[in-house]
Structure 1
């Protein structure tokens, strides 16, 4: 009779040490951090129409770059990655390329219009856009940290046992720069 309760305790302890709770917790944390990344990109996408409207009023010479920004925004919003697709490197790369294209368009917009900095609305929107870019960076870093913790958890003993047996866990793909030269800060030249 005393053997059965001891067996239950031993089985429960071994299951607890195999990632039964920690693997899904880490996975949900990574998915939540991914939602934060998407939220910050959405915030940026929502700001761009206002930015474009303000800059359009400045004159016709801006038409080319505004079109580029609008097209980049549309392209960035077309590619979505669901939490179930976080382990698909192709989907992650496509998403990152689209977002990088929008970032480059926004950088060109900032560099092309230094004379508009005196306009209060433009300055306010540029400040909000800069803040959004900072939030995106933080959200991507938080996501990468969560992915690293999840990937480490599903690959290390004893959680690897539960991750494979109970969940069929696969490593998630971290967010990485896909733009050539992204590791080098862009040169800002106002032609002066």
Structure 2
């Protein structure tokens, strides 16, 4: 039986390292795509909520005595939130914090609107408005699920690029850490639509 020379052993080890490197790279691309896809879902669920706002405001506006300042606040917050986009290749803590802050302002404005509309029995009885508010509640639930799934995907990806020897290869291949979605303090609780509608 032939002995394998030192050069042969080195070639085998090098070959195994190349195979492992290819496997690691491809699987990391997959986990990175999981983060990108999850982020797209976060943006989609927020956009779905933001798309409801014009109809909610238009319905409330029909009641002339409804607080205009509240409506204007919601419209302005929505406008600001829809203007902020985060490139999925730049999911940094700063970019996500700016996005989160804008979306939290929308949540705050909607919370004020929902608290105020309690004072208007005719608006509260409006079937179209009720359905819009129910849809808003469903959107808030979807947002919560999407953010959780995004953070789960980020955890899997970040562990992969931080754990040895992945941490060495991440630098070589340009894989950067993705930031978790951290809601502004107090923003983790969606407006309590169910209580306002008496669905509890």
TM-score, scaled to structure 1: 0.85
SS at match of 1:154: helix
Alpha carbons 2:35, 2:153 under 8 Å: kept = yes
Q: 2:139 aligns with which of 109, 128, 132?
A: 132
Q: Report whether the alignment pairs 1:77 with 2:82.
A: yes
C-alpha distance in 2, partners of 1:23/1:163? 9
C-alpha distance in 2, partners of 1:184/1:128? 17
Q: 1:27 to 1:185 in 2, by over 3 A?
A: closer
Alignment match, 2:40: 35
Work out which of the two has the higher radius of gyration on C-alpha atoms and give 1 or 2.
Answer: 2
Higher relative contact order (Cα pairs below 8 Å, separated by 6+ residues): 1
Residues 90-147 of structure 1 deviation map (CA, whole Å, 9 limit, x = unaligned): 2221111100000010111111112332110111000000100111111111111111
Residues 58-104 of structure 1 deviation map (CA, whole Å, 9 limit, x = unaligned): 223331111111011011112111112202x2222111110000001
**Deviation larger for 152-161 or 90-99:** 152-161
Alpha carbons 1:23, 1:159 under 8 Å: kept = no
Q: 1:163 aligns with which of 167, 170, 180?
A: 170
Alpha carbons 2:60, 2:66 under 8 Å: kept = no
Q: 1:72 to 1:120 in 2, by over 3 A?
A: same
State how many pairs are aligned: 185
C-alpha distance in 2, partners of 1:45/1:178? 18
Alpha carbons 2:107, 2:191 under 8 Å: kept = no
CA displacement at 1:186 relative to structure 2: 7.5
Alpha carbons 2:110, 2:191 under 8 Å: kept = no
TM-score, scaled to structure 2: 0.82
Alpha carbons 2:107, 2:187 under 8 Å: kept = no
Unaligned segments of structure 2, at least 5 residues: none
Unaligned segments of structure 1, at least 5 residues: none
Q: Report whether the alignment pairs 1:110 with 2:114.
A: yes
C-alpha distance in 2, partners of 1:185/1:127? 13
**Map of 1:1-192 to 2, 5 A cutoff?**
3=8, 6=12, 10-16=16-22, 19-87=24-92, 89-114=93-118, 115=121, 116-166=123-173, 168-179=174-185, 181-182=186-187
Please tell me the root mean square deviation across aligned C-alpha atoms, in Å.
2.5
C-alpha distance in 1, partners of 2:192/2:139? 21
